[in-house]
Amino acid sequence: MCGITGFLDTSRNKSRAELESLVTRMSDAIVHRGPDDSGEWVDAETGLALGFRRLAIVDLTPTGHQPMISASGRYIMVFNGEIYNYNEMREELIAKGTKFRGTSDSEVMVESIDTWGLEASVKRFNGQFAFALWDRRDRVLHLVRDRVGVKPMHYGWNGNTLLFGSELKCLKAFPGFDGEIDRNAVALFTRYNYIPAPWTIYRGVKKQMPGTILSFPFDRPGFEPEPQIYWSAKKAVEDGLSNPFTGSETEAIDELEALLRESVRLRMMADVPLGAFLSGGVDSSAIVALMQAESRVPVKTYTIGFQEGDYNEAEYARKVAQHLKTQHTEMTVTPEEARAVIPLIPAMYDEPYSDSSQIPTYLVSKLTRQHVTVSLSGDGGDELFAGYNRYFWGNSIWNRIGWMGRGPRKALGHAMRALSPATWDSVFKTLRPILPGSLRVPQAGEKMKKIADVVSVDSEQSLYFRLASHWKDPESLVRGSKEPETPLTDRSNWPAIPDFTRWMMYMDLITYLPDDILAKVDRASMAVSLESRVPYLDDHRVIEFAWRLPMSMKIKNGQGKWILRQVLYRHVPRELIERPKMGFGIPIDSWLRGPLREWADDLLDENRMRVDGYFDPVPIQKMWRDHLAGTNDNQYYLWDILVFQEWLRKQAS
């Protein structure tokens, strides 16, 4: 895995030395993404500069060095990611007469583009990637991002200069970077706890959408190309629904296991030590089980635990590791170690991002990097095979309340909110001996609070939007903002999906997954120079097959991921896996009332917020008082504001 950056200065008034100096400065800002090597390539005539930082994974020799130049000299590329089917493509190219200098996937990429063209080649690539490709003949810069957004790409015009890079800090390193904060993006952040693509925190700077190619001619300042879509989640979903799997359940399980085994096998390819994150849940356990089935030696697995029992999954991971006989490493994290990550968050993510699982994700990445350079993860299983609680609760809630008028629903929500989450927790604890297993859930009070928030909505889609929202009215919270449309709210681009559950799964696939989950894992792992691979997602064949499966093979008897569980149970006993789903979280709620209170008091100070000028402090202060009093658990709302305020403070310094 690597980091890439560069710029295209259409004024073309800089010398070669100036171009090299500037792009080196930009690439040095992301040395953590590639500590093993660096490279630059510039063309003073066109104002182009490409920068690269390398984390050596495949072909550790100098022949894997980037920028990579095609044998013909036409194409120059900087590339972040891995192409897992490159050996197969290499053999095809050799048969056509291509001669290779080394054994890297990046060389196969530029030679395939030279042979088959850019779009045709990208459609062949199986992997995770973001790359910049300079066409010397046509003098066009192409930016390309993988199908689902595993690897990041940011870009934007700064005057007459197009800037791009793996992280925003590359762009910020360019002299004179115009870092105006976009209040509309702040509104989106308070809604979702992340800033969805194509927006970033800076006005005029964008995240490239997944599955697209952007092409910039060298002589058109300010040009905004129409994205060329080479793969579409919408089309993949519609194709899957129109061509459903018609075999038996056993045939479906066999086919899914074969696809996943192939995906895992390809992602175990590396010239450096490799391991896996293991939480003990379905998704990561299935990946580790298939890794061990493909390996002649014990797979290295890693997990972290917490002293707080409600947040500790380590014992489940340990049991799975013992059964599979992996070489398992476990670390119990103290509250002090977890809280020490908070000051690192603004620089790690470059923009406000407040999914609190960012902290344990960084800690497990840090632990893993002490032993290996590559780690496989189970991200994507929930979105493809229906694992999130909202896929059951959403349908269940709407089926029970949809027939009511909105007035009665509002009254029901008000009645449910009359009890605090702590009281609901106490009620569920008291009733636990007589409750069915499906209702014996951890953090029940917080789930009841979410249900109370959504019962008054007017449609299924509004219910999902409410579930996906943190602050429910960002425009009144963020001064001077107008909340933009997102893929979640733009009905004109919704695919034709026959049922609410699959509609939610699609929305998660194109929004929450790339902009929250994958962004979290990329920044946390690359912050410690660890490559993370995602077998469920960076092999598009798995995604496309999953969408051909009927819902009856995903949700059965009130439980999600049925077919994935059947694959897993071929390798791990059912009793080691069957338990209520836990989030990968930390006890922010109690920390804010205890060791983080002074820090939070400072950042939430009413006068401070008025001077900063971004938030109306009145609703925030009320949230803070209610949280401190224990009448409401407002940790998620408050964490959003605290993360933004801390990011803003670091910006000023």
Average pLDDT over every residue of 270-296: 95
DSSP 202: B
Rounded CA gap, 49 and 8, in Å?
6
Confidence of residue 558 (pLDDT cuts 50, 70, 90): confident
Sign of the dihedral through C-alpha 121, 127, 130, 132: negative
Question: Half-sphere exposure of residue 613, counting CA atoms within 13 Å on the CB side?
Answer: 5
Location of each CATH 3.60.20.10 domain in the chain = 2-231
* pLDDT at residue 326, as a whole number: 97
The model's pLDDT over 32-47, given as tens digits with 9 standing for 90+, comes to: 999 998 999 999 999 9
* pLDDT at residue 564, as a whole number: 98
Q: Which of 1, 2, 173, 367 is catalytic?
A: 2
* pLDDT at residue 578, as a whole number: 83
The model's pLDDT over 351-366, given as tens digits with 9 standing for 90+, comes to: 999 999 999 999 999 9
Residues 495 and 510: beta-carbon distance below 8 Å: no
Position 64 pLDDT exceeds 90: no
* pLDDT at residue 437, as a whole number: 59
* pLDDT at residue 585, as a whole number: 67
* pLDDT at residue 59, as a whole number: 75
Provide CB contacts within 8 A for 51, sequence distance 6+.
Answer: 4, 5, 6, 23, 24, 26, 27, 38, 39, 40, 78, 170
Check whether domain 2-231 has CATH 3.60.20.10, yes or no: yes
The model's pLDDT over 519-536, given as tens digits with 9 standing for 90+, comes to: 999 999 999 999 999 999
Of residues 334 and 188, which shows the higher confidence score? 188
| DSSP code string of 386-422 | T-STHHHHHHHHHHHHTTS-HHHHHHHHHHHHTS-HH
Position 436 pLDDT exceeds 80: no
Position 236 pLDDT exceeds 60: yes
* The two structure tokens encoding residue 292: 């061990």
* pLDDT at residue 439, as a whole number: 57
Rounded CA gap, 489 and 327, in Å?
46
Burial of 440 per CB tally in 10 Å (0-12, 13-18, 19+): middle
pLDDT > 70 fraction of the chain, expressed in percent and rounded: 90
Confidence of residue 543 (pLDDT cuts 50, 70, 90): very high
Position 67 pLDDT exceeds 70: yes
Task: Name the residue among 146, 139, 83, 145 with its Cα closest to residue 110.
Answer: 83
Rounded CA gap, 460 and 41, in Å?
52
Average pLDDT over every residue of 299-314: 82
* pLDDT at residue 406, as a whole number: 64
Position 443 pLDDT exceeds 70: no
Confidence of residue 309 (pLDDT cuts 50, 70, 90): low
pLDDT > 90 fraction of the chain, expressed in percent and rounded: 77
To the nearest 10 degrees (0 to 180), the angle between helices 249-267 and 282-294 is 70
Helices (H), 96-182: 105-116, 118-124, 168-172
Of residues 93 and 398, which shows the higher confidence score? 93
Sign of the dihedral through C-alpha 460, 462, 463, 467: positive
* pLDDT at residue 395, as a whole number: 67
Task: Say if residue 67 is preceded by a cis peptide, omega within 30 of 0.
Answer: yes
Rounded CA gap, 261 and 259, in Å?
6
Looking up tokens 């700077």 gives 205
Position 452 pLDDT exceeds 70: no
* pLDDT at residue 11, as a whole number: 94
Position 614 pLDDT exceeds 80: yes
Average pLDDT over every residue of 414-430: 70
Tell me if residue 170 is catalytic: no
Rounded CA gap, 72 and 74, in Å?
5
Confidence of residue 418 (pLDDT cuts 50, 70, 90): low
Position 438 pLDDT exceeds 60: no
Q: Cα angle vertex 343, ends 341, 345, to 5°? A: 75
Position 457 pLDDT exceeds 80: no
Confidence of residue 272 (pLDDT cuts 50, 70, 90): confident
To the nearest 10 degrees (0 to 180), the angle between helices 519-526 and 358-369 is 40
Which of 409-413, 555-559, 630-634 has the lowest average pLDDT?
Answer: 409-413
Rounded CA gap, 188 and 343, in Å?
23
